Structure 1
Amino acid sequence: MPFVKISVTRDGVTKEQKQQLIKGVTQLLKDVLNKDFHLTHVVINEVDTDNWGMAGEQVTEILLSKMK
């Protein structure tokens, strides 16, 4: 029974995009590892951009600097 956890920043990911991720990852596990489609679990964790860092900076600050 596969369990996949996906973490993304909370900055505009739509319900439809999340559904595509869930369906796509589930299908990939079926195709590559022959895992049962009905026993595959996918969890999407949305993280506030203040709580996600990259290259020593908060993603919030990185996004703000790109808007300037």
Structure 2
Amino acid sequence: MPIVTVQVTREGTTPERNSVTAEEKAAIIQGVSQVLLDVLNKPLESTYVVIEEVELENWGWGGLPTRQYRRILADAAAKSRS
């Protein structure tokens, strides 16, 4: 019985959103389950998918908190355009 944990950032794709919708979560569950069926022949009814939403403050990359790293990227992009 596979158990798959999917972590997604808790931020919306538009300004008024701050989480993943129920419909998006359903699509993730369906898609991940289908991949395990297609690749490993694991039946859909025996596959568990757990979705964890991670607050923006709780993740980062490039050795920095996400907001700080994005600010650096935005500043660099602005400089390259000017």
Question: Which structure 1 segments of 5+ residues have no match?
Answer: none
C-alpha separation in 2, matches of 1:61 and 1:25: 31
| Root-mean-square deviation over aligned CA pairs | 1.6
Larger radius of gyration: 2
Q: Sort the Cα spacing of 1:18 and 1:62 in 2 relative to 1 into closer, same or farther, 3 A.
A: farther
Q: Which moved more, 1:52-61 or 1:22-31?
A: 52-61
Deviating 4+ runs (over 4 angstroms):
none
Higher relative contact order (CA 8 A, sep 6+): 1
Give the alignment's TM-score, normalised by structure 2: 0.71
Q: 1:58 and 1:20, CA in 2 relative to 1: closer, same or farther beyond 3 A?
A: same
The answer for unaligned runs of 5 or more in structure 2 is: 13-19
TM-score, length basis structure 1:
0.84
